[in-house]
A and B are shown apart, each in its own frame.
Chain A
Amino acid sequence: MALLFRKKRSRELVFIWALLLPALAVYLFYRVIPLVWNVVLSFSFWSPGKPAKFAGLYHYEEMLFYDDAFWVALKNTAVFMLGTPIAIVLAMALALLVDQNIRGRSLYRTLIFLPYPMMIVAVGIVWRWLYNDSVGLINYVLRSLGIIDQPIPFLESYDFAMASVMVAAIWQIVGFFMIIILTGLQNIPAHLYEAAVIDGARAHHRFWRITLPLLRPSIFLCVILGVIASFTSFDLIYTMTGGGPGLATELLITYIYKSSFTLSKFDYAAAVTVVMFLLFLALALIANRLAGGDAGKVDIAD
């Protein structure tokens, strides 16, 4: 031990590892081990309290060739993900608006950002009330304006359920995207626009040739965060629709939950999780590659 502390370099190493270890331990126990265990599980037959048996690709075959619910959940996840580009376009428009020199712009910024830090379960419950067909505000307003005669049971309808949860999801994240894009906007030096004005570029040229290219890292950061959110939006779906009606709002994440904790098919759920993990990894890599490998960075010389 005394030897270990003699050299400056080894003293530094001990110090570094001492600081790293607690975080690494948490990471190992809550991330790495479950992930490895999950992969092992997906190749096994296993239910709680029984020894595991090797199953090979059995669960994967079932999932890909015989389980329609999996494909519905996958398709729904893809549809749900389309909320991200919509949210980004909205966030961009809002960011451009609140970047103007308008009265009370910090108030607007705060109001638009406000939903993001709210607990998602609370967001889900509020929106469930808004959508309610007998006491919901949305139906009340639509009926008062004479747009509809009969109340629409948004969350109980096959036609509206998916769109309705997507609206809630977009509402919740748009403020966060707006802040990211606003930060990107404010990092673009004013002189660039002045140079472009003198160079003869009109407002829409300046947007397409300067603003948008320089916002690319911010936008792709939003894309990645949006993809993550759509893969992990368990709480929102669970509180609003529970995946229903039928499978109308079933996402991969809620399907995994149901397979394991409702149907006790932990081994099967593990296989779905592996597929979801791989899809997610692929999308994140593609998004980061498209962002030039530096999502979130502000690309300004100097």
Chain B
Amino acid sequence: MATVEFRKLVKRYGTHQVVHGIDLAINDGEFLVLVGPSGCGKSTSLRMLAGLEDISGGEILIGDKVVNEVEPRNRDIAMVFQDYALYPHMSVYENMAFSLHYRDTPKQEIRTRVMEAAEILGLQDLLDRRPKQLSGGQRQRVAMGRAIVRKPQVFLFDEPLSNLDAKLRGSMRLEIKKLHRKLGVTTVYVTHDQIEAMTLADRVVVMNSGNIDQVGTPEDVYHSPQTIFVAGFIGSPTMNLLPAKRNGSATIVVGEKSDFHVQLPAKSASNTDAFVFGIRPEDIAIASGDPEDGRVHVDGVVDVVEALGPDTLVFADVGGHQVTARVRPDVKPDIGQPVRLSLDVSRAHFFESESGKVVS
């Protein structure tokens, strides 16, 4: 096991820069998830860590050793690919034993290690099969088996669950989590799926166009997003983000037509005038009676109602902006009818619209 560190890591293709000098320290035994939309540089960063892409600038350290010039096979890492990358002409056993052949492992030792891995992943009965004869979930397990027989310092996962159907994805997620708890190996996991990020990670790294926007526990990135991008990316349905303007020293006006006034956080030193006001759907309810302390009422028109079962989503038009509220399942407002929403502004987030950063 080992720590991993990125220092001012840069990736350029020709003159086109895709990773802009990111810094990141990953603790020993940590499960770290890189999440972001496609093209944000998360896979590229992982591939640089694996040694599959050259590093254009900066350094990568594995266990305090700079590995920029170290061949992939000597980095003591193992990687699981999105399309599994199993060798189609080899049996499950041979697939898992492949890497050990090139590490001067004695035959007996190879056998013991493959059997051990097969037992952990429940692959004992499939060892003679070819990848073609396996289901998607089984293939993914073989790919993980191939990684764990090596007993590497670091596991790398590149969108490993993206090719599986939703149900299988859920159960494989649990298996990966259990596997990590059992083996305790430092893991770097890339995904575009924020649910995977939230459920698996010790810490989440949210990437956006080649930069790191925020690093933190899943709770951190959900409850205290540091940028507009993180606020909009993490959470489903996404956070309501409305334009706002300063009005007086400590209040802002949200929206353009159906305006309402909100107090800026007390210690706000921000001196810009344009803001983005963010509030999560679960912090909005259907209003009844007068607003309580810390809540603001706004009027809108119901657009769409989605009954999800445990709760209901109400999409309303508020002054030309769509606002989503997550309400109790027994509340069923009529479509096209006016609705009064009650916003818990004590839980709201304020961002400077220019820099995209949170106002603190």
Stretch at the interface among A70-78, A80-88, A187-195: A187-195
> Is A149 among interface residues, defined by CB-CB distance under 8 A?
no
A-B contact pairs, 15 of them (CB 8 A): A189-B83, A191-B85, A192-B87, A194-B50, A195-B81, A198-B52, A198-B73, A198-B99, A199-B98, A200-B102, A209-B98, A300-B88, A301-B130, A301-B131, A302-B83
> Is B103 among interface residues, defined by CB-CB distance under 8 A?
yes
Q: Which of B125-169 contact A (CB under 8 A)?
A: 130-132, 139, 146, 150
Contacts of B73 in A (CB 8 A): 197-202
Q: Are A301 and B77 in contact (CB under 8 A)?
A: no
A210 to B98, CA, bound (A): 11
Q: Which of B72, B86, B88 contacts A198 (CB 8 A)?
A: B72
Q: How many whole Å from A195's CB to the nearest CB in chain B?
A: 4
Q: Which of A159-206 contact B (CB under 8 A)?
A: 189, 191-192, 194-202, 205
> Is A246 among interface residues, defined by CB-CB distance under 8 A?
no
Please encode chain B, from 39 to 60, with 1 for each CB lying within 8 Å of some chain A CB and 0 for all others.
0000000000011100000000
Contacts of A300 in B (CB 8 A): 88
Contacts of B88 in A (CB 8 A): 214, 299-301
Q: Which of A195, A200, A214 contacts B85 (CB 8 A)?
A: A195
> Is A213 among interface residues, defined by CB-CB distance under 8 A?
yes
Contacts of B131 in A (CB 8 A): 301
Q: How many whole Å from A191's CB to the nearest CB in chain B?
A: 4
Contacts of B72 in A (CB 8 A): 197-198
Q: How many whole Å from B51's CB to the nearest CB in chain A?
A: 7
Q: Are B52 and A213 in contact (CB under 8 A)?
A: no
Q: How many whole Å from B168's CB to the nearest CB in chain A?
A: 16
The SS class assigned to the A binding surface is helix
Q: How many whole Å from A185's CB to the nearest CB in chain B?
A: 15
Contacts of A209 in B (CB 8 A): 87, 98
> Is B182 among interface residues, defined by CB-CB distance under 8 A?
no
Q: Are A198 and B89 in contact (CB under 8 A)?
A: no
A225 to B132, CA, bound (A): 28
> Is B79 among interface residues, defined by CB-CB distance under 8 A?
yes
Q: Are B89 and A213 in contact (CB under 8 A)?
A: yes
User: Given known contacts A194-B50, A199-B99, A302-B83, what 16 new A-B pairs fall within 8 Å (CB)?
Assistant: A191-B85, A194-B52, A194-B81, A196-B87, A198-B52, A198-B79, A199-B98, A200-B73, A201-B98, A202-B102, A209-B87, A210-B87, A213-B89, A214-B88, A301-B131, A302-B132
A8 to B176, CA, bound (A): 55
Q: How many whole Å from A206's CB to the nearest CB in chain B?
A: 10
Q: Are B132 and A301 in contact (CB under 8 A)?
A: yes
Q: Are A201 and B102 in contact (CB under 8 A)?
A: yes
- Name B residues whose Cβ lies closer than 8 Å to a Cβ of A: 50-52, 72-73, 77-79, 81, 83, 85-89, 98-99, 102-103, 130-132, 139, 146, 150
Q: Which of A196, A197, A198, A202 has the most CB of B within 10 A?
A: A198
Given A301-B130, A301-B131, A198:B51 Cβ within 8 A: yes
Q: How many whole Å from A49's CB to the nearest CB in chain B?
A: 59
A300 to B86, CA, bound (A): 10
- Name A residues whose Cβ lies closer than 8 Å to a Cβ of B: 189, 191-192, 194-202, 205, 209-210, 213-214, 299-302
A301 to B86, CA, bound (A): 8
Q: Are B50 and A196 in contact (CB under 8 A)?
A: no
Contacts of B103 in A (CB 8 A): 200
Q: How many whole Å from A199's CB to the nearest CB in chain B?
A: 4
Chain B: CB-nearest residue to A212:
B89
A197 to B87, CA, bound (A): 13
Contacts of A302 in B (CB 8 A): 83, 132
Chain A: CB-nearest residue to B50:
A198
Contacts of B50 in A (CB 8 A): 194, 198
A210 to B95, CA, bound (A): 11
A199 to B77, CA, bound (A): 9
Q: How many whole Å from A108's CB to the nearest CB in chain B?
A: 24
The 4 closest A-B pairs by CB, nearest first: A199-B99, A200-B102, A200-B73, A191-B85
Contacts of A198 in B (CB 8 A): 50-52, 72-73, 77-79, 99
Q: Are A189 and B52 in contact (CB under 8 A)?
A: no
Q: Are A214 and B79 in contact (CB under 8 A)?
A: no
Chain B: CB-nearest residue to A197:
B72
Contacts of A192 in B (CB 8 A): 85, 87
Contacts of B85 in A (CB 8 A): 189, 191-192, 194-195
Q: Are B98 and A196 in contact (CB under 8 A)?
A: yes
A202 to B81, CA, bound (A): 20
Chain A: CB-nearest residue to B143:
A195
A217 to B338, CA, bound (A): 68
Contacts of A213 in B (CB 8 A): 89
Q: How many whole Å from A299's CB to the nearest CB in chain B?
A: 6
A40 to B89, CA, bound (A): 46
